[in-house]
């Protein structure tokens, strides 16, 4: 019997398999639609709902979705180094899933950040497989304690976006095992997640969704995992090959590869017993989800409760990393706020991880809620112009714009409206939109009224997957129909943003009209990118900054005692569908930061990004924090850190206490420049393949091996207090004495690294093998304990034997608070070489 069957079970899986017709079996192995599996009512098999993670639970719609709780991004969660927090995150997500009527959460993402340029790097937890796997395991455990199924993704080597559906990842078996598969292996051992999603790419010549070595030999035979394997959306590329390799569920539906093609393959004896196993795994997952209490086709609703808001604020504040500090915490008096990220809520990265949040808090709003603030923009940091939708009102006075659907083109003699809605989000993605009367080629209009607050020159923008035109008061200002250029919009399947300019007068009403045609009206096809659904449009506008804007910001910095400058990236710069070209901040940002620091060296620089950015001004800066993408509570969490406040959390009512910053740590290395990154020469598809040439030397493993000092090392993060380690003892666990030698309470992350003394093959200088987070009052001293599985902690993958090898010999055990800090050291001896496989 499968270990995933929940007792008592409503479905007798083996009896049902014997009663299913061939067509019914085939139908169960693909989705019904974008988010649901196929039901078989005559046998009592319900449809179950899958919903995107990992930043939150979106529900069933990209387009006009029900708002949700938005977590800080994956790297932010990794920066907490806090397994208990990951467990509580899972509990919250389980409750959110029930609110959205979802049985399965498509998360967490446990891929590895090979390079700062990875478009989806922000989704993953760490460059280190142990940290990633341990956090993921507790995250999954929390979700499944609410009887909602968790999905590890993307299995495996889904670490860049360049030609992601076509590229062949060429990787040694050793690197595959020690770096890229290891987080999956750890998370499975800790939590037995009920599902796994395959990556888009090939690995060593075969797409993962039809890769027998990965799906059957390793995942099922060696690891004895018995859950459901699903494809990433449109990530199935064959019928017989995928079924035989172990891909249980093709998503989304309706099926492209199964259906009549699979029935024919079964009839022709190309697929035999493997079909029943695929069906069995689908039914076992259906059985597991019956204990969730989520009814079939449940209505979606919002949770948005104080307990969740409090947790979101805690996670975001715990994740913030203090890179340098000489002035924080600030006094709650008067603060000058400067910079491009100040008045925008960069709460999430882009792509399928993004969602519509219950609310957002900008850094400006967060600081303004606790102190008196002055503001100067300085420069913009957007890649695309800011969305216009929420700044419009309808002709009837409602906030937002009126959206209308037609089967006829704008130039048709008569047009019949199929549907009308009022929307506020002007990044409109029809990926999962449906209407019973919708024609194969269809059109829509978006119309609203814009009243500018300031007179001046305004830029308007329009990006589409499809075709579109933007009019202001009947004047065609932007046409995105002919000679379209591929861009990052709509997960890489859309165009660049085309723009037009117009002089506007403050207080006057301007009628904005966007006329759009679905994806099939466009000739643009982007190779190596998923062609998602019906397409979409994004319209935007922004007043041009005057030439003196930067000088005004510098003058404010010079005159202020306390200054915070907010800069960084956003979901436009870091997104599924595209990799970054450089580590640079947006144009003019570095110039602004450098000049503000010249005017006021004590200015606090707050950077938001999901992965590393270049900091050419770092030697000028005395205080720098890294704030990631902080979810709903972004601004409040940043303010809590800047003013030395934290949320003690998880009480029926939110109680705020004056404590101290709880020390986030870098879950990845920040290099001084891109060329120092180990994947610099191997981070794109070349002739259809990408060589993982750095092998096992990913992240800090590389910098230490070649003795290149990064800008900030893995595991680095300061506190508002200080700690001292001593008296390390190595046994079945690592025990170390830690003392808070400062004046305030605080937390420290104990990091345990293992270093082989005389390895028989080339190995990293040391590797993280355990960690724990310890809270201490001022002056308090205690012993911290970190579990250490000696066999696993000393093992490498031996390619000659095809097994893990714990080599006999001596190993140093280094206990510290950063990968490059001071260590207290012990040692251990392995007496006998051991070979092993499995979890």
Q: How far apart are CA 802 and CA 245, in angstroms?
A: 20
- Helix, coil or strand: residue 80: coil
**H/E run at residue 590:** helix 589-599
824: its two tokens: 């207290």
State the residue for tokens 């601004």: 635
Of 830, 755, 761, 829, nearest in space to 801 by CA? 761
Q: How far apart are CA 330 and CA 284, in angstroms?
A: 55
Contacts of 785 (CB under 8 A, 6+ apart): 733, 734, 735, 772
- Helix, coil or strand: residue 176: helix
Q: How far apart are CA 449 and CA 399, in angstroms?
A: 10
Q: How far apart are CA 230 and CA 445, in angstroms?
A: 36
Q: How far apart are CA 77 and CA 80, in angstroms?
A: 5
Strand extents, DSSP E, 417-497: 417-423, 427-429, 443-450, 456-465, 467-472, 475-480
The residue from 82, 162, 232, 640 that is catalytic is 232
Q: How far apart are CA 234 and CA 552, in angstroms?
A: 50
Q: Is 232 a catalytic residue?
A: yes
DSSP string covering 728-759: EEESSEEEEEEEE-SSS-EEEEEEEEEEESS-
Q: N- to C-terminal Cα distance for the chain?
A: 20
Q: How far apart are CA 512 and CA 17, in angstroms?
A: 57
292: its two tokens: 């969730």
Of 314, 130, 320, nearest in space to 718 by CA? 320
User: Is the separation of the CB atoms in 100 and 339 below 8 Å?
Assistant: no
162: its two tokens: 């360049």
**H/E run at residue 554:** helix 549-559
**Residues recorded for the chain:** 839
Of 418, 339, 340, nearest in space to 386 by CA? 340
Task: Determine if residue 351 is left, alpha or beta; phi over 0 gives left, psi from -120 to 50 gives alpha, anything else beta.
Answer: left
- Cis amide leading into 54 (omega within 30): yes
User: Is the separation of the CB atoms in 462 and 478 below 8 Å?
Assistant: yes
Q: How far apart are CA 142 and CA 190, in angstroms?
A: 11
- Cis amide leading into 252 (omega within 30): yes
Burial 721-758 (b: 16+ CB within 10 A, else e): bebebeebebeebbbbebbbebebbbbbbbbbbbbbee
Contacts of 8 (CB under 8 A, 6+ apart): none
277: its two tokens: 């196993």
Residues β-bridged to residue 104: 50, 149
Residue 573: Cβ-neighbour burial (10 angstroms; 0-12, 13-18, 19+): buried
Catalytic residues: 232
């Amino acid at each position: 019997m499968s270990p995933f069957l929940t007792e008592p079970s409503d479905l007798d899986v083996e009896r049902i398999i014997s009663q299913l017709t061939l067509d019914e079996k085939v139908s169960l192995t693909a989705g019904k639609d974008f988010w649901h599996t196929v039901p078989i009512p005559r046998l009592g098999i319900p449809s179950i709902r899958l919903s995107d993670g990992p930043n939150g639970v979106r529900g069933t719609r990209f387009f006009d979705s029900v708002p949700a709780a938005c977590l800080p991004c994956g790297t932010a969660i990794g920066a907490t180094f806090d397994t208990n927090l990951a467990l509580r995150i899972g509990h919250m997500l389980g409750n959110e899933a029930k609110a959205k009527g979802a049985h399965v959460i498509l998360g967490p993402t446990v891929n590895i950040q090979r390079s700062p340029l990875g478009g989806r790097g922000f989704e993953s937890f760490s460059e280190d497989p142990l940290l990633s796997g341990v956090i993921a395991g507790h995250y999954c455990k929390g979700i499944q304690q609410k009887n909602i199924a968790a999905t590890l993704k993307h299995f495996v080597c889904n670490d860049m976006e360049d030609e992601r559906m076509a590229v062949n990842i060429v990787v040694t078996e050793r690197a595959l095992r020690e770096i890229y598969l290891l987080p999956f292996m750890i998370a499975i051992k800790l939590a037995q997640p009920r599902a796994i999603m395959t990556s888009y790419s090939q690995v060593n010549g075969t797409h993962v969704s039809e890769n027998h070595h990965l799906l059957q030999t390793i995942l099922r035979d060696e690891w004895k995992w018995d859950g459901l394997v699903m494809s990433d959306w449109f990530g199935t590329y064959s019928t017989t090959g995928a079924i035989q390799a172990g891909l249980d569920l093709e998503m989304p539906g309706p099926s492209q590869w199964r259906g009549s093609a699979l029935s024919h393959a079964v009839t022709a004896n190309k697929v035999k017993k493997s079909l029943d196993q695929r069906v069995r795994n689908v039914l076992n997952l259906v059985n597991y989800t019956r204990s969730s209490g989520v009814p079939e086709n449940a209505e979606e609703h919002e949770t948005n409760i104080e307990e969740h808001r409090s947790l979101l604020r805690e996670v975001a504040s715990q994740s913030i990393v203090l890179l340098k500090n000489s002035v924080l915490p600030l006094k709650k008096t008067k603060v000058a706020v400067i910079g491009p990220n100040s008045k925008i809520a960069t709460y999430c990265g882009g792509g399928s991880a993004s969602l519509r949040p219950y609310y957002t808090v900008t850094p400006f709003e967060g600081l303004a809620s606790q102190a008196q603030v002055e503001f100067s923009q300085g420069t913009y940091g957007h890649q695309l112009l800011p969305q216009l939708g929420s700044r419009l009102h309808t002709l009837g006075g409602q906030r937002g714009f009126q959206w209308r659907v037609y089967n006829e083109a704008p130039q048709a003699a008569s047009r019949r409206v199929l549907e009308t809605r009022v929307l506020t989000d002007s990044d409109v993605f029809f990926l999962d939109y449906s209407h019973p009367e919708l024609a194969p080629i269809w059109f829509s209009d978006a119309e609203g009224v814009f009243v500018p607050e300031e007179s001046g020159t305004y830029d308007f923008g329009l990006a589409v997957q499809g075709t579109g035109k933007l009019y202001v008061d009947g004047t065609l200002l932007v046409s995105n129909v002919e000679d379209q250029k591929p861009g990052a919009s709509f997960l890489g399947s859309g165009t660049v943003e085309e723009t037009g300019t117009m002089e506007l007068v403050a207080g006057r009403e301007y009628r904005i009209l966007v006329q759009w045609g679905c994806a099939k009206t466009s000739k643009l096809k982007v190779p190596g990118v998923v062609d998602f659904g019906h397409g979409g449009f994004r319209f935007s506008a922004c007043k041009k900054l005057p030439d003196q804007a930067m000088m005004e910001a510098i003058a404010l910095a010079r005159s202020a005692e306390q200054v915070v400058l907010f800069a960084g990236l956003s979901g436009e710069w870091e997104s599924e569908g595209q990799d970054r070209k450089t580590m640079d901040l947006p144009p003019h940002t570095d110039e602004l930061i450098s000049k503000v620091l010249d005017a006021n060296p004590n200015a606090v620089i707050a950077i938001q990004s999901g992965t590393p950015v270049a900091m050419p001004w770092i030697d000028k800066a005395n205080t720098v924090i890294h704030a990631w993408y902080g979810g709903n509570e972004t601004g409040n969490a940043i303010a809590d850190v800047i003013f030395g406040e934290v949320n003690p959390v998880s009480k029926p009512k939110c109680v705020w206490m004056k404590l101290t910053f709880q020390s986030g740590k870098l879950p990845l290395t920040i290099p001084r420049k891109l060329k120092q990154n180990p994947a610099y020469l191997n981070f794109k598809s070349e002739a259809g393949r990408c060589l993982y040439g750095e092998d096992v030397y990913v992240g800090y493993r590389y910098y230490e091996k070649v003795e290149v000092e990064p800008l900030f090392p893995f595991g680095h993060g300061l506190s508002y207090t200080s700690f001292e380690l001593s008296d390390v003892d190595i046994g079945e666990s690592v025990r170390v004495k830690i003392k808070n030698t400062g004046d305030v309470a605080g937390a420290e992350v104990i990091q345990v690294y293992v270093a082989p003394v005389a390895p028989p093959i080339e190995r990293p200088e040391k590797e993280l093998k355990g960690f724990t987070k310890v809270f201490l009052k001022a002056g308090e001293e205690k012993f911290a304990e970190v579990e250490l599985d000696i066999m696993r902690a000393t093992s490498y993958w031996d390619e000659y034997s095809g097994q893990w090898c714990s080599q006999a010999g001596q190993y140093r055990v280094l206990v510290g608070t950063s990968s490059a800090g001071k260590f207290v050291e012990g040692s251990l001896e392995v007496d006998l070489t051991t070979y092993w496989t499995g979890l």
